[in-house]
Amino acid sequence: MSTPSDAEFMRRALEQALLAEAEAEVPVGAVLVLRDAIVASGHNRPIGAHDPTAHAEIEALRAGARELQTYRLNETTLYVTLEPCLMCAAALMQARVRRVVFGAFDPLAGAAGSRLDAFRSYAGNHRTDVFGGVLAEQCGALLRGFFERRRERPGPAAQL
């Protein structure tokens, strides 16, 4: 169920996504919240970091664990502009994040119900609640615009 603050925290995740876009990364952003306060944030940076695991969720989890001085992020909520992939879903469950709220659904790689549901099939002793579709239009429009602009630019082969 959506709470009144979900949209506000998703707007903050969108701000992080814009940072990723400014760095020519896929515009996905995340914020980690504890007791209605943002404790960490992150945005996609696998290209700049030369790290395939540097997704927005992972960046926010790492920063949150450092900030809270614990690897167990119980009682936190992670807001992310795109449905988590399988890698991120597994990391969120391992971190014991209580709740994940995402914006746009990802029919190609979404692991919170679109392509598969890692959160529901997890057999561990911790459950993560997942809620999708918060500011889905804004989150999806940012991603669509990013990829449309990339397709418009001719690549090196087109310049020959």
Strand-by-strand arrangement of the 29-34 sheet: 37-43, 29-34, 76-82, 99-104, 129-132
Using pLDDT thresholds of 50, 70 and 90, give the confidence band for residue 124. confident
Quote the pLDDT of residue 3: 52
Residues 73, 107: Cα–Cα separation, whole Å: 28
Closest CA to 124 of 148, 152, 92: 92
Residue 160: pLDDT over 60 = no
Q: What is the pLDDT of residues 70-96, one digit of tens each?
A: 999 999 999 999 999 999 999 999 999
Token pair in block for residue 16: 């992080």
Q: Cβ neighbours of residue 75 under 8 Å, at least 6 residues apart? A: 34, 35, 98
**Radius of gyration from C-alpha coordinates of the chain:** 16
pLDDT for residue 148: 95
Active site amino acids: 57
**Which of 106, 115, 111 minimizes the C-alpha distance to 91?**
111
